[in-house]
Chains A and B, each alone.
Chain A
């Protein structure tokens, strides 16, 4: 399966008063066509910055390294003008807070059709028709009336659907969704997840789904890459990574979740706090919190090892092997 997007050794540095700060430290992954690629991590993992790097939306003072090849071109190396066109046309984005990404003073019609006319050069009437079609696709009730509305008149879930509609306007190949349902109620979230699932299947759309919520990833993502402190801890098919996690961090994350079967027992947290770019420990970033850590973990950054078909993990002290050896 040829990858739609191939990210190789992505680095992102932020220039601060104390020198360059490494936020993303050598992340590689492939996104296949028509698949949902999940990027999981807590705060400080660098997952959002990874998305911003791909979209060309990093703040001033940030530098990138590595490559991100899509349709034969390295989108990281593009000139900003070309990247702007690519961003609307081939890569779309959906953010967590639809309140701030939708213009509060423009009607839905304006926001949709302007995008269509800028990117695709459609006439006013064609743009209007296409906009109504898009709103119907994302299941906004009474699309014609909705076109005349303003963002504040819609609920959070509806605004997210509108954001998705705007994203889909130019029929992109890839949709980058950063915490698209985190701010929504659980019943509304379920609706958005189902919508994204349907859109992926019907339109052969690839999605990079960035979230800390393992449940969301489990429902929607085909493959998952778990990030910690700017590096990849584990990656592979979702069923494998979440059902049979190998990296101590992934296992810790899954164990820390409330499980219905264990509702009468205490939760199993990971000790300590997630490491961020400013507090990244030497060697393996997770070692201070890891129950399997050895002295060598403090010295060498563990490389990603291939443990199975399409599955990788960055822990030399594979707990599965360790526990079997006991």
Chain B
């Protein structure tokens, strides 16, 4: 496929780099709401990074900032070494078209009045990357790649199920020959039995096409199966990133632990999940110091006044928590890391 060798050159540099990104919205009364308050994240070619968090954490805003749908108020977003520009009235730059986005709702992200095949072919039509005679075979190849029957190109969206439509959305992104795809809750609108199908597809695509993916999801369990690395966000900041397996077996940040404990298990054992006390604060008025401190079971004095930075740890992990920053001598006995379930 064209463009492969170019990607290999960037081996050492991350495909997508986000540094200290801030995204600010204006509320109706004029108060600025920092949806993302300084988040940093990297995605490499061929890897799937899961971005998880709850309401108000800013993951959706970060995803949109990554592709330029919303402007960044501060910080940098770099794709293939070049800064990403916000989408304005003018057409998007060709270099940035290799950075694509798949939306959550397959019922709204596809034009109901056009055949799905014509929409998959949009990338060729717009980018003029293929001669017209090659469109049909390429569309069929893409449909096959996402696991749809070849004749589905002639159908209209309402003739397809939710899972099939989401595959069309993915095929449409693939038609732009992307190096990187951001997926904003791609599985949330699908039935459970269908989620597994699309999740497997994403893993296959990342592996076969060496495409990097940033997968935003509120469903930690599925992210665990799909993502190589996972980042956790809380109230606009990234609090922890780690290789997925380690995030689950040995979470470092108390919020990560709380998220894991809150997941109900479908084993029939009847255990109630653990709830986290308190509420997510208003992003416009975040708590002082560590944003999680009012709800943290391991809170210390330092957490109230000082903001912990996202610091690199062994094994490619990063965490923003004073629990892991204190000098060894001052560590209290009670702070021995818990062995999770």
Contacts and interface: CB of A to CB of B under 8 A. Distances in A.
Interface of A: 42-43, 155-158, 185-191, 193-194, 197, 212-220, 238-244, 252-254, 256-258, 260, 262-264, 266-271, 273-274
B126 interface: no
Contact of A273 (B54, B164, B200, B265): B164
17 contacts: A42-B191, A186-B54, A187-B258, A190-B261, A190-B275, A190-B276, A194-B272, A212-B191, A216-B264, A218-B265, A219-B265, A219-B271, A239-B270, A253-B192, A257-B192, A270-B193, A273-B164
Interface in B231-277: 244-245, 248, 258-259, 261-276
A190 B194 CA distance: 25
A99 to B, nearest CB: 13
Contacts of B225: 258, 262-263, 266-267
B296 to A, nearest CB: 13
Interface stretch (B9-17, B33-41, B215-223): B215-223
A186 B191 contact: no
A240 B269 CA distance: 9
B70 interface: no
Name the 5 nearest CB pairs between A and B, nearest first: A269-B196, A215-B264, A242-B268, A243-B268, A267-B196
B267 A189 contact: no
Given A190-B272, A212-B192, A218-B268, A263 B248 contact: yes
Given A187-B259, A218-B264, A218-B265, A267 B272 contact: no
Given A186-B263, A217-B266, A243-B269, 6 more contacts: A189-B262, A218-B268, A219-B271, A266-B200, A268-B196, A274-B191
Contacts of B111: none
Report which residue of A215, A258, A273 has the largest number of chain B beta carbons within 10 angstroms of its beta carbon. Answer: A258
B271 A187 contact: no
A219 B196 contact: no
Contacts of B279: 155, 157-158
B26 to A, nearest CB: 18
B191 A219 contact: no
B280 interface: yes
B268 A238 contact: yes
Interface string B191-204: 11111110110010
A157 B221 CA distance: 21
B264 A258 contact: no
Nearest to A198: B272
A256 B267 contact: no
B145 interface: no
Given A42-B192, A213-B264, A243-B267, A219 B273 contact: yes
A271 B264 CA distance: 25
B163 interface: yes
Nearest to B295: A187
Contacts of B161: 273
B270 A218 contact: yes
Contacts of A218: 264-270
B273 A193 contact: yes
Contacts of A215: 263-266, 273
Report which residue of B55, B203, B220, B248 has the largest number of chain A beta carbons within 10 angstroms of its beta carbon. Answer: B55
A258 B222 contact: yes
Contacts of B317: none
A264 B194 CA distance: 19
A256 B192 contact: yes
Given A186-B259, A219-B273, A269 B268 contact: no
Contact of B266 (A188, A191, A194, A242): A242
Contacts of A266: 200, 203, 225
A140 to B, nearest CB: 11
Report which residue of A43, A219, A239 has the largest number of chain B beta carbons within 10 angstroms of its beta carbon. Answer: A219
B224 interface: yes
Contacts of B280: 155, 185
A268 to B, nearest CB: 6
Given A194-B275, A266-B203, A256 B193 contact: yes
B272 A185 contact: no
A267 B268 contact: no
Contacts of A212: 191-192
B304 to A, nearest CB: 21
B272 A269 contact: no
A254 B193 CA distance: 9
A239 B221 CA distance: 21
B54 A252 contact: no
A239 B280 CA distance: 33
A274 B193 contact: yes
Contacts of A191: 275-276
Nearest to A254: B266
Given A155-B279, A186-B220, A267 B200 contact: yes
A233 to B, nearest CB: 13
Contacts of A244: 268
B194 A187 contact: no
Contact of B224 (A42, A213, A238, A263): A263
Nearest to B244: A263
A193 B220 CA distance: 18
A190 B268 contact: no
B191 A190 contact: no
Contacts of A243: 267-269
A154 to B, nearest CB: 9
